Structure 1
Amino acid sequence: MCARHLPAQLFVDQSGTPEGLFQLLDNALAAGAQSVFVLAADANGFTPSQLDKHLQTFPIPIFGGIFPEIIANGEILQRGSIVCGLPMLSEVYHIEHLSDPDEDYFQAAEALSALIPPHSTLVTLVDGLSKRIAALLEGIYEVFGDSCQYIGGGAGSLSFKPKPCLLSNQGLRVDCAQIIAIQQPLNLGIEHGWHKFAGPFFVTGAYENTITTIDYQSAFEIYRQVVEADSGKRFQDVEFFDLAKSYPFGLERLNGDVVVRDPLFNNDNKLTCVGEVPANHIIYILKGEADDLLAASRTCAATAMQVQAPPLLALLFDCISRTLFLETRFAEEINNIHAPLPENVPLVGALSLGEIADAGHTCLEFFNKTIVLGIITQTESTLA
């Protein structure tokens, strides 16, 4: 007979200092945490020289990332740190070189298969600015398939400049993936609220996360014509992302759903996105209204909360570009997610550069502009 786990505990620091983070880690350790999930805001400016020595001497498994903004229960923090003390042991693994065109991620994932038992929940964190995230996720799913459950997101900075952004017992890491195996079930909600607006178009040229041509024409020119005609604004008059945030791409899937891709910037008439866009693929330009996105957040929470066992933790990855789009109404989205949770169940989350989940036991997706909410629950053994 196993003792029932208590819910996870949140410890929050709003100073954004290394010392504030170190105090939270000590607090979690003193409270009996078996492993810790750390979320830090990019505005803290954390560097390896500030954190590595402390992280390397921390006595229990530590994982997490630096994100544009972070969430503790119903509060959104632009500066500060959150330490989530978990009442269960977590196994933390890394796959390196996430932008290397020659790296074999299937082989790397296969090496982990002997270490990770079936039916694990795999919290998968990536450097959100790496260039081969989709290839990594394909390799992971090919090895583990639907024998595991998945949730995660992309760490990094809205400056879009690569820098160390994943926290581990080895210190801060860059251009890698962090795979955390937890032996507790997960129930997911995945929603975005965007709809098809223009298209379909055919991606006639692309590499990694860059679209070069659409329908055999300049990718930016096709995109520019649609967006400027609908918005009444011109890209030459505004920052690219200020206009593009309202008009993401949607990759068509066989079931008719679309996976959202955020165009980040125009470089020589090529559009660079968060996450890969394959050549020879059908895409749409999407559009959304604030009310539709907020309705999606309510649906996401309702779906995730359809659990049979007591929840331990609510884990949220919500795309940073949703807050840039919803602006002052984004607090409504977080409230829609937080309010239905039981009072004793903490919500910890990140405003991420891309979101990771298994959408329907078919593949492991890297989403943009999407809400992924996971409820980690008790196992049957812990309830016995």
Structure 2
Amino acid sequence: MRQEHTALILLVDEARESEHLFHQAQAAIAAGAQSLLLLACERNGLTPALVDAGLQALPVPVFGGIFPQIVVGSRRLEQGYVVCGLPFAVTVEYVAKLSDPGADYRSDLAAFAATINPPQTLVVLVDGLSTRISALLESLYGEFGDECTYIGGGAGSLSFQQQACLFSNHGLVGDCAQLIALDLPVGIGIEHGWHSFAGPFFVTGSHHNTLSSLDYQPAFEVYRRVVEADSGRSFADTPFFELSKAYPFGLVRLTKDVVVRDPLFCRDNAIMCIGEVPAHHMLYILKGDAEHLLLAARDCTLTALRAQPAPCMALLFDCVSRALFLDDRFQEELDTIRAHLPADLPLLGVLSLGEIADAGNACLEFFNKTTVLGVVADA
């Protein structure tokens, strides 16, 4: 079904209680919304027990998730909700068992593809702490290829404890992906601003998102030597993520592009990352500074606008660890993005646990520490 009109209903509520989410959802439906994008902040403390009955009672398709923070315009919310009502019904597909090593995603996706016409855009939302996100994206690109544009990101908690984090008509769900088919064109910008600092290193041991060895040495020992020498600080008396947020990994692609991987924590000399780290790949340790990250946000915005000159909405997936790294200067990143968009263009987004887009490498990537902006045009 062609989606003819894209007038949006955008409702913001900064209260934490789940009743406010459903009050705004009902208001959007009363105003004519035929499907709902629901965004909630992690601080709201939602659980399936609090929201499942309300989600199951909604009469229109629902998608969205719980994220560390939400972005509206150049504001970021640390608690509350955003309800975006769409004036057309969307098709939402679920792919379960996103950490199951035996799951065959290709067969599920082939069945999904058989039920719809190829959409112009697929919005892909995932549980950001699942361990086989890259495997899903590989299967998804294998099914749809470059027939459509992709944009999305990872929901979840900064506690890095996996829990139900995606909204659905069945309730609050986890360890899965949502695929939302839109018959609307989207221009994409993708930038990160990090540069190679040490390496390359050869990944000699990894399993899903766990990096165990580099150049046949324990991964943490290699990483520790580089980071401590450059930072002048020690992991012995500094929390792991406090240091690692400034020194991400960079996976080298055949095009020489670098895809960033966030090191989350260390266990038994292995490093757990957001997103998979494939064995037998080259990677670098990266470094960055505020000025280059802010320039990357500007370039991301300009690229997305050039690709879509008649916009009706901007959709932002900005990595939460960029906010943690930039700290007080992260507001400058949001201000930069907002300033380079048309003044009357609605901007809605999230601080995500990983970002999803096609960077032109003949594959679909799960990025970390990256800004992905989609500029949506009218049908």
Q: Which residue of 2 aligns with 1:252?
A: 252
The 10-residue stretch of structure 1 (81-90 or 257-266) with the greater mean CA deviation from structure 2 = 81-90
Provide, for residues 208-248 of structure 1, a one-character-per-residue CA deviation record: whole Å limited to 9, x for no partner: 10011000000000000000000000001111001000000
Q: Which residue of 2 aligns with 1:141?
A: 141
Question: For residues 357 and 272 of structure 1, do their structure 2 counterparts lie closer, same or farther at Cα, with a shift above 3 Å needed?
Answer: same
**Number of equivalent positions:** 378
After TM superposition, the structure 1 = structure 2 runs for residues 1-384 of structure 1, keeping only pairs within 5 Å, are: 5-308=5-308, 310-360=310-360, 362-379=362-379
Provide, for residues 54-104 of structure 1, a one-character-per-residue CA deviation record: whole Å limited to 9, x for no partner: 110101111000001111111101111111112232111100000001001
Q: TM-score normalized by structure 1?
A: 0.96
- The amino acid of 2:195's aligned partner reads H
Provide, for residues 266-305 of structure 1, a one-character-per-residue CA deviation record: whole Å limited to 9, x for no partner: 0000000000000100000000010000000000011111
Identity in percent? 57
Deviation at 1:4, TM superposition (A): 5.9
What is the CA–CA distance in structure 2 between the aligned matches of 1:221 and 1:232, rounded to whole Å?
Answer: 16
What is the CA–CA distance in structure 2 between the aligned matches of 1:138 and 1:5, rounded to whole Å?
Answer: 32
Q: Is the 8 A contact 1:316 1:373 kept in 2?
A: yes
What is the CA–CA distance in structure 2 between the aligned matches of 1:253 and 1:131, rounded to whole Å?
Answer: 20
Q: Is the 8 A contact 1:240 1:264 kept in 2?
A: yes
Deviation at 1:117, TM superposition (A): 1.5
What is the CA–CA distance in structure 1 between the aligned matches of 2:13 and 2:38, rounded to whole Å?
Answer: 11
Q: Is the 8 A contact 1:33 1:85 kept in 2?
A: yes
For residue 328 of structure 2, give the secondary structure of its aligned residue in structure 1: helix
Q: TM-score normalized by structure 2?
A: 0.97
Deviation at 1:3, TM superposition (A): 9.5
Provide, for residues 95-138 of structure 1, a one-character-per-residue CA deviation record: whole Å limited to 9, x for no partner: 00000010011111111111232243110000000010000000
- The amino acid of 2:37's aligned partner reads F
Q: Is the 8 A contact 1:123 1:180 kept in 2?
A: yes
What is the CA–CA distance in structure 2 between the aligned matches of 1:375 and 1:9, rounded to whole Å?
Answer: 17
Q: Is the 8 A contact 2:298 2:340 kept in 1?
A: no
Q: Is the 8 A contact 2:316 2:371 kept in 1?
A: yes
Question: For residues 3 and 217 of structure 1, do their structure 2 counterparts lie closer, same or farther at Cα, with a shift above 3 Å needed?
Answer: closer
For residue 70 of structure 2, give the secondary structure of its aligned residue in structure 1: strand
- The amino acid of 1:179's aligned partner reads L
Question: For residues 361 and 8 of structure 1, do their structure 2 counterparts lie closer, same or farther at Cα, with a shift above 3 Å needed?
Answer: farther
The 10-residue stretch of structure 1 (286-295 or 7-16) with the greater mean CA deviation from structure 2 = 7-16
What is the CA–CA distance in structure 2 between the aligned matches of 1:339 and 1:252, rounded to whole Å?
Answer: 32
Q: Is the 8 A contact 1:8 1:345 kept in 2?
A: no
Q: Is the 8 A contact 1:146 1:361 kept in 2?
A: no
- The amino acid of 2:291's aligned partner reads D
For residue 305 of structure 1, give the secondary structure of its aligned residue in structure 2: helix
- The amino acid of 1:336's aligned partner reads T
What is the CA–CA distance in structure 2 between the aligned matches of 1:11 and 1:220, rounded to whole Å?
Answer: 45
Deviation at 1:7, TM superposition (A): 3.4
- The amino acid of 1:376's aligned partner reads V
- The amino acid of 1:268's aligned partner reads D
Q: Is the 8 A contact 1:249 1:283 kept in 2?
A: yes
The 10-residue stretch of structure 1 (222-231 or 341-350) with the greater mean CA deviation from structure 2 = 341-350
| Structure 1 unmatched ranges of 5 or more | 380-384
| Structure 2 unmatched ranges of 5 or more | none
What is the CA–CA distance in structure 2 between the aligned matches of 1:53 and 1:157, rounded to whole Å?
Answer: 22
Give the superposed CA RMSD. Answer: 1.3
What is the CA–CA distance in structure 1 between the aligned matches of 2:112 and 2:272, rounded to whole Å?
Answer: 31
Q: Is the 8 A contact 2:187 2:308 kept in 1?
A: no
What is the CA–CA distance in structure 2 between the aligned matches of 1:57 and 1:361, rounded to whole Å?
Answer: 42
Deviation at 1:42, TM superposition (A): 0.4
Q: Is the 8 A contact 1:246 1:287 kept in 2?
A: yes
Deviation at 1:317, TM superposition (A): 0.4
Deviation at 1:310, TM superposition (A): 2.7
